[in-house]
Structure 1
């Protein structure tokens, strides 16, 4: 973590969707966490756990059902004028999961990247505009000749680089990377992650990195939050989470990570998780509790005592 200044504060965030009475999907169900300036917070969990919905709600693509998202102390979902919204949209950007669907097929790469530059008036002339586009292409590992091409002329990895260049065009402070590598070949994934790490150092960026690949999340993240059915069940520094996973669901996820070791794979035991194993009583207060500095677990008071013993002797 580069600094200890809170850039983002998520407080009891809820995002519910009505899918026909009386059904209600609690995609995000009262989660709380902070993101510090200069860090990468990884958010992991299985498909449908609410991690992408969390990111989209944080950036106002969805209106929050309840709770708050604060950016530098200001409520993201508060009432804003057009000017304030424009400034907010410039400071928070998103890299989307699907590099094929997130780029307009009818626009040239130069137009895609320059769209934000034009909206925010970041270039004083056509020449300056194109110089910014060329510089951004080179920043993400492409070249100026690519500016005149259309998205269909690129590979998946190249399209994701164009998406990253588009996000960087407005000089943001905070970027939500919503599973930016899941649609890419394994050989390309490491290139994109290394690019994001390089950009973070060069431009002092802060990331929320959403993914389901735990091995890749460990590589890029300072801290990791684990989500299960709309709840944040564990939050810890990356090394601590992998060394001392406490919540049974986290253990289940980690047990599923394959290693390039035939002997290990033959003896690997997959840990299964069932939410019914917790046996909460009606009067149990199930909340996030700090088991070690910076290491939080969603649990009851009784479970907390057990987790503390387990953590102590690990």
Structure 2
């Protein structure tokens, strides 16, 4: 994983900018995603992780910063043709499989919408055949093509959402909490499907979630967000075994384990943002504290972290 597919540089997404009720949902974050990897993005509800995904794919126009996809600035002014090409390369799987599928359309037309927009099917027969193949790819069958979304379970609807994303043969998929609305028994099936599709099609994922145990299972690297800031970024194993930022430590301490003995003695760490009272003029930035492992900290905190290792 040495080829950068996506570069996020100082990305900002402010709502009601300049007003009293301004919300800095994404506040100057930078990270890279390498071709073929899965980057997990975690944090509590409202931390800005879903807004980050939606801004990357241009569902929101960025307030500031750059999104460089395969060497091209996504948020620079683009012609309709350029946007169409970009939209084919990057797709999104949405959190709510109930709300993201048009209830008035049959599955055949929902999945084929991307084929129609990009002209990927030469005939009606080819269009239908392609939808059948996609349904089978995600573990459904061709008989499902003539049904409506309300006739499916939550897990099946999310599979339809995955099939729709795959229809245009993208390189990069943003999975925005794709399992949070599903039963626990179904979550593992959907995550395993995503892993299989990644291996088969050479996909790159940004996997957004708040379930830390599932994120570890699917991700190569993990980024942790807190109040619009990226506070820690590193290899999945390092984040779990050696978290550096107090907020990451707090998140990990909240994960329950199926071990009664451990659970009786588990101590939950609470995160107190006031511990980061920086002096005026003190530069706070992402610094590398171990190979590939970055933490949002001041020079003073950086020296302390390195000294502890």
SS at match of 2:12: strand
Partner of 1:105: 103
CA distance in 1, matches of 2:156, 2:288: 42
CA distance in 1, matches of 2:305, 2:241: 14
CA distance in 2, matches of 1:96, 1:20: 30
TM-score, structure 1 as length reference? 0.97
Describe the superposition over 1:169-215 as per-residue Cα deviations: whole angstroms up to 9, x where unpaired: 00000000000000000000000000000000000000000000000
CA distance in 1, matches of 2:193, 2:215: 14
CA distance in 2, matches of 1:274, 1:95: 34
Q: Structure 1: which 5+ runs fail to align? A: none
TM-score, structure 2 as length reference? 0.99
Deviation at 1:263, TM superposition (A): 0.7
CA distance in 2, matches of 1:258, 1:230: 26
Describe the superposition over 1:208-246 as per-residue Cα deviations: whole angstroms up to 9, x where unpaired: 000000000000000000000000000000001111100
CA distance in 2, matches of 1:289, 1:187: 39
CA distance in 2, matches of 1:112, 1:121: 15
Matches within 5 A, 1:30-41: 30-41=28-39
Deviation at 1:19, TM superposition (A): 7.6
CA distance in 1, matches of 2:60, 2:234: 27
**Among candidates 276, 279, 300, match of residue 281 of structure 1:** 279
Partner of 2:224: 226
Between stretches 212-221 and 276-285, larger displacement belongs to 276-285
Deviation at 1:21, TM superposition (A): 3.0
CA distance in 2, matches of 1:139, 1:240: 33
Partner of 1:8: 6
Deviation at 1:274, TM superposition (A): 1.2
1:302 matched to 2:300? The reply is yes
Deviation at 1:23, TM superposition (A): 2.1
Partner of 1:249: 247
Describe the superposition over 1:109-158 as per-residue Cα deviations: whole angstroms up to 9, x where unpaired: 00000000011000111111111000000000000000000000000000
- Equivalenced residue count is 309
Q: Structure 2: which 5+ runs fail to align? A: none
